Chains A and B, each alone.
Chain A
Amino acid sequence: MTDDNTTGSHGAVLADPAPAGADRPLVELRGAGKSYGNVRALHGVDLTVHPGRVTCVLGDNGAGKSTLIKIVSGLHRHTEGDFLVDGEPVRFSTPREALDRGIATVYQDLATVPLMPVWRNFFLGSEITKGPWPVRRLDIETMKRTADEELRNMGIVLDDLEQSIGTLSGGQRQCVAIARAVHFGARVLILDEPTAALGVKQSGVVLKYIAAARDRGLGVIFITHNPHHAYMVGDHFSVLRLGTMELSADRDRVSLEELTNHMAGGTELAALKHELAQVRGVDVEKLPEEEDLTAPVAAPGEGKA
């Protein structure tokens, strides 16, 4: 893989090598962090998002994944480090500003209003209007038609766009949210645990749309705590642990097992195994040994955390 010169950017912050314009990162975090009062939720995180690539951010609960996306999506401001969009440092104060720069987020709770119809949800916050000011009104036909087309492009067929979005299944709502982000010219798509609440089949559908969005040239940040889902679509993997970056590696530098071990926190699992050995009735013989649990290859990012 010759285009993997970006691997280096995870380590010490390098001077931007400024490769060909097409490969310039859309979004870049350099040593970014966020403190809430005296709680440091995130510290020294580097992340780059390139067009047409899926960057996976993995981590256990409380690892700082949500804080990370809140910074990128404009809900919170970072308190340390740099946040660059198209190479320019930015500080967003509202999600609207992030949206205007082409950064769209599909939230864990989907950012939909359950009681509102599908088409109103699709255009919420970016409604199409017609007519001069005093009688400026929603262009309902155009919005319904556009929503229907966009959803069909993503392979979602709904009989009735007037039905409230709360009546759709989790996977369908997730796909509506992704289709909405793609339609509104997102260049960077942030997906906050899109498969967390879904069944196997629905997760597959969502992963398919992630791949579809990538193939349309979008940079995708895929937040998940499922390494299997991440490995299916990811080009680059960043593992967060206790608010810092534990691993940052391209797909060809890391295997699924290593990723899983990093996710699970191999050393912690080994310790847990010792504790379980004290408990009667737990058969620890069949559990893997410590050396199997820790990542076999000390991945480049590990030493720095």
Chain B
Amino acid sequence: MSVTGHAEPAVTSPPAPGRKQSDGRTSRRPPALRLLARPEVGVFLGAVAVFVFFLVTAPPVRDGSSMANVLYQSSTIGIMALPVALLMIGGEFDLSAGVAVITSALTASMLSYQLTMNIWVGVVVALLVSLGIGAFNGWMLVKTGLPSFLVTLGTFLILQGVNLAVTKLVTGNVATDDISTMDGFGQAKKIFASSFGVGGVQVKITVVWWLVFAALATWVLLRTKYGNWVFAVGGNKESARAVGVPVTFTKISLFMLVGFGAWFVGMHQLFTFNTVQSGEGVGQELIYIAAAVIGGCLLTGGYGSAIGPVFGAFMFGMVQQGIVYAGWNPDWFKAFLGVMLLGAVLINLWVQRTATRR
């Protein structure tokens, strides 16, 4: 259509030569370019590149069990990266996500052990605590109008301190007691931390959960009302409110979703190691945020996908394990991360400019 349009001024050429009526002013961009503008395409290509790179340079990666290991590593990051990505699309981020994982695990572990109850009581209470932390973050944000950076930085410091102090107070130690002999441990371990064999390779169950959550998040984001609201509150909060989107509900529920993720990963850690180190988790929040950004989510909100962070987390897992399999110094991992992050940010910037170009 645009090809016929440029020869004559628009006034003289009839506007509807092609299929459908078109006024000829908006030409369709070529399909390849439109595909590239999808949030997950850049990270997909990046993940493939990293995968191929290590497949070539680190022969042990070609082994099935190494791959299962890479996927496991990716899944522990990926499960948290999903809600963090949704929150980011909704225009906020959560610095307390890393220590909140440990808070959840500590709550379940100490509550069950100290009160000698069934482990499930601790698991359920931990879920409530995690959702509560998320709700608090969201409520503070909505009520005060402060940026999420400040609100969640506060929560991050509070939780970090509480984790250490309460653990020391209760157990007299920096770690919790071993809970592996308690009632219900076996059941819970089956759900949160078991493995199963596929073609002779042991795959951790978190990989399955990761992919199930990713599919669910993608469906919610693209096919439901709620997903529409998430994009809207991140893209333009005032506009969203003006057309009747429940902004407060959407923001608070997104923070609670991060709380749910923290609980799930916390339970996984608890039932994998049977005990929790109270000082852990610091710095993890930035890994989650980085995975979401590498996955094509815009730090300022309103743009992104749930499938992008899956590839983002895979890149993390791949690099982390790949460096080990290649026999290099693992210290290179962080440098790799930095390069990946910068590359992703540059691609995001380009996408945003292309997508909003008049």
Give residues in A with beta carbon < 8 Å to B: 73, 75, 94-96, 99, 105, 107, 109-116, 120, 123-127, 129, 136-138, 140, 157-160, 163-164, 166-169
Contacts and interface: CB of A to CB of B under 8 A. Distances in A.
A75 B243 CA distance: 11
A164 B241 CA distance: 19
Contacts of A113: 231-232, 235-236, 239-240, 302
Given A116-B232, A166-B356, A124 B243 contact: yes
Interface of B is mostly: loop
B239 A126 contact: no
A95 B303 contact: no
Contacts of A127: 225, 228
A73 B355 CA distance: 31
Contacts of B357: 167
Interface of A is mostly: loop
A75 B242 CA distance: 8
B28 interface: yes
B26 A163 contact: yes
A112 B239 contact: yes
A120 B221 CA distance: 12
B356 A164 contact: yes
Contacts of A159: 1, 20, 22, 26-28
Contacts of A138: 223-225, 228
B225 A107 contact: no
24 contacts: A95-B242, A95-B244, A96-B244, A99-B244, A109-B238, A111-B243, A112-B239, A113-B231, A113-B236, A113-B302, A114-B302, A115-B231, A115-B303, A125-B244, A126-B244, A127-B225, A136-B225, A137-B223, A157-B21, A159-B20, A159-B22, A159-B26, A163-B26, A167-B355
Contacts of A112: 236, 239
Interface size class of B (residues with CB under 8 A): 20 to 34
Given A114-B236, A115-B231, A160 B28 contact: yes
Interface of B: 1, 20-23, 26-28, 219, 223-225, 228, 231-232, 235-236, 238-245, 298, 302-303, 352, 355-358
A157 B355 contact: no
Contacts of A73: 242
A169 B358 contact: yes
Contacts of A166: 355-356
Given A113-B236, A125-B245, A157-B21, A136 B224 contact: yes
A112 B358 CA distance: 15
B72 to A, nearest CB: 30
A287 B110 CA distance: 84
Nearest to B1: A159
Contacts of A129: 224-225
Contacts of B235: 113-116
Contacts of B303: 115
Contact of A120 (B26, B228, B352): B228
